[in-house]
Structures are given as C-alpha cells and as structure tokens.
Amino acid sequence: MPELPEAETIVRTLAPHIEGRRLEAMEIRSARAAPEPLPDLAGRTVERVRRYGKQVVWDLDGGLLRFELRMTGLLLWRVEPGPYTRVRLRFCGAAVCFDDIRQFGSLRWSAGELPRLGPDALEIEAADLARRLAGRRARIKPLLTDQRFLRGLGNIYADEILHRARVHPMTPAHRLGGARARRLHAAMREVLTEAIALGGSSISDYVDADGRPGRFQERHRVYGREGAPCPACGARIRRIVVGGRGTWLCPRCQRLPRGVSGRV
DNA sequence: TGGAATGTTCGGCT
DNA sequence: AAGCCGAACATTCC
C-alpha cells in the first residue's frame, strides 16, 4: 500500500510517539523481515523519524533503520503483536509493530547511507522534472513509478496524477513537451498534497501508526474505477495493463500523441 | 478456482 | 545502453 502519502502519514503519526525515546529491545518474529544481519539496537535512541521516498527511516544514534513497506507493510503503535507482526520494536511500556501480511517488506540497517534513488516527487522542481523527462524514451507511467527516476510514486498515485494532468500512461516521456510536463508537475504536487492532507489512501487495509485509515481513496478519480464515469468528462474509465501493472485512465481526457501506437 | 492486488528485483530478450 | 517483459516473492480476497 504505502506510497509517498501513506509513508508520510505513517511518519507523522509515529514520530510523536517515539522521537527522543530509547529502544529497549527488538524482536524479529519472521527472519524474512530482516534479510541482512542487524546489530543489537537495544539502548539506542530514536533521534528522528523521516520519509525517504516511500520508505520510513529511523535515525538512531550511530545509524539508520530503514523500513521498506512494499505492498502490505505497516508500522503500528501498539504493544501487543498480532498474527502478521514480523518485527516488534519495544520501548518502555510501549512498542511499534512492523506488520506485513504478504511479507515482501523488510527492515535494514546501515551506518548512514540510503539507497540511491531519484529526486523526491514532492521536492522536485518543474524545470528539473521536464529536463529529466526529455532525456527518456520510456513510457511515462512506468518511468514515474521507477524509484531510481523519481522517488515516492506507486501505482495508485501515478494513475491519479496522469489523469489530472490529462496524460496517457503510455506516452513516451520525451514526447510530453513543456506544457504537459508542467501540467504533470502541478498535478503531482496537488494529488500528493491532498492525499497527505487526507491521511493517504486505504484501499485494502492500510492504516497509519495510530490505526486510522486514510480517506483519499474517496477522491480517487480513476484508480480501481473501471466502467465508472470520468469525473471530468463523463466517459467510462478503462483499465489497461502498462508495464505489467493494472492502469486506469479516461480514454477521452488522456489521449496518446499522434504517431504513438498503443492500445488505449 | 483463477486472477488480481498498493512493490521490487532479476534474468533474458531486442 | 535502454527499455520491455515475465517470473518470483507470500498471502488474501473475490
């Protein structure tokens, strides 16, 4: 679930509980969740909780604890572990549970480095985005969700952003031109900002660190809405597959440029 | 019952 | 090199 707005919401709800507090113990309940060796973190202080793309990072004294939530990872401020709790990080009288149904997520330790990813989707400037798009021939949607190109976007927000920008997901990036690149940048800022304000999208079981669902799914205009009318023009939303992922779009608002072949 | 699901990585092909 | 595709990971849901 967690893309940029959900990771941001988790950070905002988790930080007040644990920043400045001392970690008492860490219980790895599923080896898959910690694929690389971790040092003993007991006694270290959580100096800061922050977001890196769609990942959640805890700055501890002496290193970084990085949570990759992937499809179903959650960080819950809750003492008792549940059936899907893969790691429990205990504080005095309290705990954070790293829950993950599908077990694609993981937790990693580093002395200070973060993986090299593209610029943050909320921080990049319009001109920078336009410049980066101009150099790529790949289709825009898979490019937007490529974390090495831009960090933070996943399947839901890529579809919502492309719809608001009126850009077809199969448009080659370098064919966007200045006007649509600026529209894409503006749409990205708007969608992400609104989604954060509403606590992210809860489409199956995403909740923030306090167990609250988000509400942005009520504002989705295309994602998961095959057959429903486009809120902008009334045409029926369609579902296609792009880059192996389900992709929802309005065939009337989002046209391919002339000369670009692709199934609408 | 088969297919799809919010993510990422890898190998192979063009 | 860049880009694309399918498979794999594990589980649930419809």
Q: How many CB atoms lie within 10 A of CB A214?
A: 22
The CA–C1' separation of A169 and B12, in angstroms, is 25
Same structural domain, A220 and A134 = yes
Going by the DSSP 8-state scheme, the letter that residue A175 receives in this structure is G
Rounded average pLDDT over A174-180: 95
Identify protein residues whose C-beta is within 7 angstroms of any atom in strand C: A 32, 71, 101-104, 136-139, 142-143, 172, 204, 242-244
The answer, yes or no, to whether residue A22 has pLDDT greater than 80, is yes
The answer, yes or no, to whether residue A262 has pLDDT greater than 80, is no
The answer, yes or no, to whether residue A118 has pLDDT greater than 80, is yes
| Structural contact between residues A184 and A205, judged by C-beta atoms closer than 8 angstroms | no
What's the token pair of residue A64? 């970084």
Same structural domain, A106 and A138 = no
Separation between Cα atoms, residue A68 and residue A34, nearest integer Å: 11
Predicted local confidence at residue A204, as pLDDT: 80
- Kindly state whether residue A261 falls inside one of the protein's structural domains: no
| Structural contact between residues A184 and A201, judged by C-beta atoms closer than 8 angstroms | no
The answer, yes or no, to whether residue A245 has pLDDT greater than 70, is yes
CATH code for position A60 = 3.20.190.10
Same structural domain, A133 and A201 = yes
Query: Which nucleotides of strand C come closer than 7 angstroms to any CB of the protein?
Result: 2-7, 9-13
Same structural domain, A105 and A132 = no
The residues with which A241 forms a beta bridge, in sequence order, are: A246
Nearest nucleotide (CA of A205 to C1'): B6
- Kindly state whether residue A116 falls inside one of the protein's structural domains: no
Amino acid at A155: N
Provide the 3-class DSSP secondary structure of residue A5: helix
Same structural domain, A208 and A176 = yes
As to burial, measured by CB atoms within 10 angstroms (0-12 exposed, 13-18 middle, 19+ buried), residue A93 is exposed
Predicted local confidence at residue A264, as pLDDT: 45
CATH code for position A147 = 1.10.8.50
Give how far Cα A236 sits from Cα of A81, A87, A124, A249, Å.
44, 44, 33, 9
> How many CA within 13 A on the CB side of residue A227?
0
Stated as kind and residue range, the H or E segment containing A178 is helix A177-197
Predicted local confidence at residue A195, as pLDDT: 97
The answer, yes or no, to whether residue A96 has pLDDT greater than 80, is yes
Predicted local confidence at residue A261, as pLDDT: 75
The CA–C1' separation of A245 and C7, in angstroms, is 14
Rounded average pLDDT over A192-218: 95
String of b and e for A141-177 (b: at least 16 CB within 10 Å)? Answer: bbbbbbbebbbbbbbbbbbbbbbbbbbbbbbbbebbe
The answer, yes or no, to whether residue A8 has pLDDT greater than 90, is yes
Quick one: how far is CA A139 from the chain centroid? 20
Separation between Cα atoms, residue A158 and residue A163, nearest integer Å: 9
Predicted local confidence at residue A259, as pLDDT: 85
What's the token pair of residue A31? 């080896």
Q: Which domain holds residue A94?
A: 4-110
Same structural domain, A71 and A134 = no
Rounded average pLDDT over A137-164: 97
The answer, yes or no, to whether residue A100 has pLDDT greater than 90, is yes
- Kindly state whether residue A258 falls inside one of the protein's structural domains: no
- Concatenating the DSSP letter of every residue in A196-213 gives HHTT---SSS---TTSPP
| Structural contact between residues A151 and A117, judged by C-beta atoms closer than 8 angstroms | yes
Nearest nucleotide (CA of A223 to C1'): B6
Q: Residue A129 — pLDDT band, cuts 50, 70, 90?
A: very high
Same structural domain, A136 and A211 = yes
Nearest nucleotide (CA of A146 to C1'): B8
Predicted local confidence at residue A205, as pLDDT: 87
For A30-71, the pLDDT digits (tens) are 999 999 999 999 999 999 999 999 999 999 999 999 999 999
| Structural contact between residues A253 and A232, judged by C-beta atoms closer than 8 angstroms | yes
- Kindly state whether residue A259 falls inside one of the protein's structural domains: no
Same structural domain, A148 and A239 = yes
